[in-house]
């Protein structure tokens, strides 16, 4: 089973593109979902975070207070590194488990790993191909603001922490231009799917 990594900056259209692959019968694992799963109540990940940051990092119901954690690591790069050293290996292990999960409805010779941090972390070592969903920065900002009701400054801060557009594109085996009507994006995904079926046959 081959693994294709799908990445792109916030609001570039990863979720939109992966749904089109899904319609073609391609199974995918979303790194954002896995990143949430590994800190759910009862996990070793959440226990380690609560021990390190104190119980004030938890909500009354015992779940992780994400806003509080974001604030703590935003203020302190050393805490951010501590958190990354804790979670990145756990996330990676769970990604591998889910990508290899034998009961997944595999009907295609490849699965997708969707991750905003595919290239920023060692997750790219897991994949056979890298696909980048690409839009100009102004479109990225516009679409993210409309989707998340964020201010331009908030979106720009998130983008500043992600890889620059040109560098991301330079690492791609294939680029999907998502500054296009959806119909055109669907055509690009179909072409890419056919290419992978050929390359992975």
Positions that interact with ligand ADP (CB under 6 A): 8, 10-16, 143, 147, 178, 180, 182, 185
At 29, which helix (H) or strand (E)? strand 28-30
At 113, which helix (H) or strand (E)? strand 110-114
Annotated binding-site residue? 12: yes
Annotated binding-site residue? 45: no
Rounded Cα–Cα distance for residues 3 and 157 (Å): 31
Annotated binding-site residue? 121: no
Residue with Cβ nearer ligand ADP (43 or 179): 179
Residue with Cβ nearer ligand ADP (18 or 49): 18
Q: Closest separation between CB of residue 120 and ligand ADP, Å?
A: 14
Q: Closest separation between CB of residue 8 and ligand ADP, Å?
A: 5
Rounded Cα–Cα distance for residues 40 and 49 (Å): 11
Contact criterion met (CB below 8 Å) for 64 and 49: yes
Annotated binding-site residue? 15: yes
DSSP bridge partners of 58 = 64
Binding site residues, as ranges? 11-16
Binding site residues for ATP, as ranges? 11-16
């Amino acid at each position: 089973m081959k693994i294709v990594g799908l990445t792109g900056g916030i609001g570039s259209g990863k979720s939109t593109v992966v749904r089109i692959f899904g319609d073609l019968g391609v199974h995918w694992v979303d790194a954002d979902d896995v990143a949430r799963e590994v800190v759910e109540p009862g996990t070793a990940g959440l226990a380690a975070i609560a021990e390190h940051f104190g119980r004030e990092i938890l909500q009354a119901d015992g779940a992780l207070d994400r806003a509080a954690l974001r604030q703590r690591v935003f203020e302190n790069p050393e805490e951010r590194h501590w958190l990354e050293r804790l979670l990145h290996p756990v996330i990676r292990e769970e990604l591998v488990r889910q990508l290899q999960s034998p009961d997944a409805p595999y009907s295609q010779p490849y699965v997708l790993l969707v991750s905003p941090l595919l290239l920023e972390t060692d997750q790219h070592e897991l994949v056979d191909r890298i696909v980048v969903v690409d839009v100009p920065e102004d479109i990225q900002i516009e679409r993210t603001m409309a989707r998340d009701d964020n201010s331009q400054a908030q979106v720009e801060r998130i983008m500043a922490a992600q890889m620059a557009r040109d560098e991301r594109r330079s690492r791609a085996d294939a680029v999907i231009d998502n500054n296009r009507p959806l119909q055109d994006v669907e055509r690009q995904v179909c072409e890419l799917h056919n290419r992978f079926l050929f390359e992975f046959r």
